Structure 1
Amino acid sequence: MVFIARQEPFDCDHCGEHIEPLTNGSYRNHCPKCLWSKHVDKDGPGDRKSECLALMKPTGVDHRKKKGWMIVHLCTKCGKEIPNITACDDDLTVLKS
């Protein structure tokens, strides 16, 4: 799996929030307000090869020894589950509601 670094602003398709890229050298693939993501990658982070393009619901958090806290996203169309590293400004309280 190859990681393709992308720093792109986007508008969240779930809540409509305009999201700017992180400035701390990290990469963002989900909305920090509602935590929803979009199924755009197929084989690895940043490849943008997925034909699914459905929204991905945040279903929980997981802790990985080498990557730290991760948000688990579930694709609302194809059911693929993808963990994503949390960002410093993520509102993790939305997972409790």
Structure 2
Amino acid sequence: MARRFQKKLENFKCDNCGYEVVGFGYTNHCTQCLWSKHVDIFPGDRKEDCKGLMRPIRIEKKKDGYVIVHKCERCGEERKNKASPQDNFEQIIKIS
């Protein structure tokens, strides 16, 4: 069985806005527009076949920060991801 979280240090170009994202090992969404891509079954495994774009649909405030809720535009699956300090805070506010 795969580990639940796998560190994957990689940079990528956002398929939504084109921003060149510099990854830090657990990066799974664009730090500018906050969109993601449905590529993981478990975080970092890159084994999901869907590959649909995931829209940030809402922000949840937690005691230790924010959580971005993404919904896949292709299959409809929803996933929660912690916001990172590198994320565009104006976008977080806009989605809230």
TM-score by length of structure 1 reads 0.84
> Partners in 1 of 2:54 and 2:72 — Cα distance?
4
Helix, strand or coil at the partner of 2:91: helix
Question: Residue in 1 aligned with 2:66?
Answer: 69
Which amino acid is the alignment partner of residue 76 of structure 1? E
Residue in structure 2 matching 1:3, options 2, 5, 11: 5
Instruction: Work out whether 1:28 is the aligned partner of 2:27.
Output: yes
Helix, strand or coil at the partner of 1:51: coil
**Percent of counterpart pairs with the same letter?**
43
Moved segments of 4+, more than 6 Å: none
| Structure 2: 5+ residue stretches without partners | none
Indicate conservation of the 8 Å contact 2:11/2:21, yes or no: yes
Which amino acid is the alignment partner of residue 41 of structure 1? D
TM-score by length of structure 2 reads 0.85
CA positional deviation for 1:64: 4.3
| Structure 1: 5+ residue stretches without partners | none
Helix, strand or coil at the partner of 1:82: strand
> Partners in 2 of 1:6 and 1:15 — Cα distance?
22
Question: Residue in 1 aligned with 2:78?
Answer: 81
Question: Residue in 1 aligned with 2:58?
Answer: 60
Aligned residues: 92
> Partners in 2 of 1:60 and 1:93 — Cα distance?
14
Which amino acid is the alignment partner of residue 57 of structure 1? R
